[in-house]
Structure 1
Amino acid sequence: MRTSDRKTQMVFEKKNTGFHIKRYDLKSVNYPVRVVSSEYDSQKDLAVFFVHGAPGSSDNYYTYLQDSLLLKGANLYSIDRPGYGFSNFGKPEISIKRQSEVVAEIIDSLPEQKVIVLGHSYGGPIAAYSSILSPKVKSVIMLAPALDPENEKFFGLLM
């Protein structure tokens, strides 16, 4: 559930869309955290920061990072959360607080002053918590978030 730098390049070149891959050396973790982003446009003061669920990686949002309507209004970023993709793969950080600190630290380093954080599944609570930690976060979108695993309903499948 991860796409290498080379394959990522092929995906974006196929759609003729600019992109960047950056590895952040952060204070909060002792390994680089990978973020894939749309081509940066300094004319935009808004960013959308995508946080994937578990399992998953930044490639879950490549379609959004290439979307012409989104690209008109914002710079777009997608993280490989700690333990996923190419951010210390196979050694997931289970603490929502620690993951949120990583997301907030990256957001605080972005040039844009306004950030919308979108989290899906397990990325939902990370998006919400990161909004408390970073003053740059102006809005949070939670897409089918996993908020309380002990109270979520599970439905059996009949085969």
Structure 2
Amino acid sequence: MSSPVRFEVEAAGHLGHVFASRRTPGTAAGPAVVLVHGIGASHRYLERLHGLLAKSVDTYSIDLPGFGATPRPEHTLSVAEHATYILGALEQLGVLEFVVVGHSMGTQFAVEAARQQPKRIPHVVLMGPVVNDQRRTVAQQALALARDCLFFESPSSNALVFTDYLRCGPSWYLKNLRLMMNYHLEERIGGVAADVLVLRGEHDPVAPTDWCHRLASRAATARFVEIAGTGHVVQHNRAVEVAGSILAFAQGLPAGRETPREFTA
């Protein structure tokens, strides 16, 4: 599989990057999958998952405006504006229907996109969703993230996340952190018509099991999958299992709890 092609796409007045892996027409095994990063991050920690999904389906990873190597907008975009960018960018690339997969704060963008244009998004995958409704302070979230990095992440996942945080910069990160903390995913998910998959790593302190179950219970139709032996950045450390769960979900098949592990750091 060749490397994804990067497209610089302006949508809704903002500039971002879309990394596309398109299969030969007629050879894809299911609907296109769109991967959306979380706060401070970029497509880089989604690359392993992207590569595995691209073996079966058209796959797109997005660097939202102001993240990765994209230019910073003049103002901090709201969750709704990020969702509008995602929908507009994919429409420009001819992707009119897709499975949206968000990680961490990306789950907020995914839910908002599904609410804005439900006919385009039949399936939503929420990996390590935030913000836990019983730990709504910045201090609690910071402590959970610190525990995750110290005890449950691989050196490679930590390196990807922290170098992207450096590129993001503290000012832009904090501005987006306020948005993340003020978005109540547990309330917004009730307005999603799509089927929902809530997915977490077994040891993820940012998205604990009870929070994920509460979130799934508020969706119209949802299932829950837990991937053994990893933390918050589950899509990097257990890319094989996550890809299998996403493809099974999108195709309406049972999703197993665990498959053979690859990509260990």
Instruction: Give the structure-1-normalised TM-score.
Output: 0.73
Pick closer, same or farther for the CA change 1:37–1:22 going to 2, 3 Å: same
The residue type paired with residue 121 of structure 1 is S
Note the alpha carbon deviations across 1:65-107, whole angstroms, 9 max, x for none. Answer: 211xx22431111111121012224867341011111011123
Q: Are 1:83 and 2:66 an aligned pair?
A: yes
Offset at residue 131 of structure 1 (A): 1.0
Relative to total residues, which structure has the larger helix share, 1 or 2?
Answer: 2
CA contact (8 A) 1:46 1:112 kept: no
1:152 to 2:136 alignment: yes
- The match for 2:108 is 125
**2:127 corresponds to which of 133, 140, 143:** 143
Match of 2:20 in 1: 37
Task: State whether residues 82 and 93 of structure 1, in contact with CA within 8 Å, keep that contact through their aligned partners in structure 2.
Answer: no
Give the C-alpha shift of residue 151 in structure 1: 4.3
Asked if structure 1 preserves the Cα contact closer than 8 Å seen for 2:10 and 2:89, the reply is no
CA distance in 2, matches of 1:104, 1:113: 8
- Between the aligned partners of 1:140 and 1:132, the Cα distance in structure 2 is 11
Structure 1 unaligned blocks of 5 or more:
1-15
**Identity value in percent:** 19
2:44 aligned partner, one-letter code: D
- C-alpha separation in 2, matches of 1:110 and 1:138: 18
Q: Give the 3-state SS of the residue equivalent to 2:41 in structure 1.
A: coil
Name the structure 2 match of 1:74: 57
**Residue in structure 2 matched with residue 60 of structure 1 by the alignment:** 45
User: 1:8 maps to what in 2?
Assistant: none
Pair 1:55–1:136, CA change in 2 (3 A): same
Q: How far, CA to CA, are the matches of 2:115 and 2:50 in structure 1?
A: 25
Structure 1 residue 118 displacement after superposition: 0.5
Superposed, which structure 2 residues align to 1:4-15 within 5 Å?
none
8 Å CA contact 2:23, 2:57 repeated in 1: no
CA positional deviation for 1:19: 1.8
Aligned to 1:111: 94
- Hey, which of these two has a bigger chunk of strand by percent? 1
Letter in 2 for 1:114: E
Are 1:48 and 2:37 an aligned pair?
no
Structure 2 unaligned segments of length 5 or more: list them.
148-265
Tell me if the contact between 1:37 and 1:65 (Cα under 8 Å) persists in the aligned partners.
no
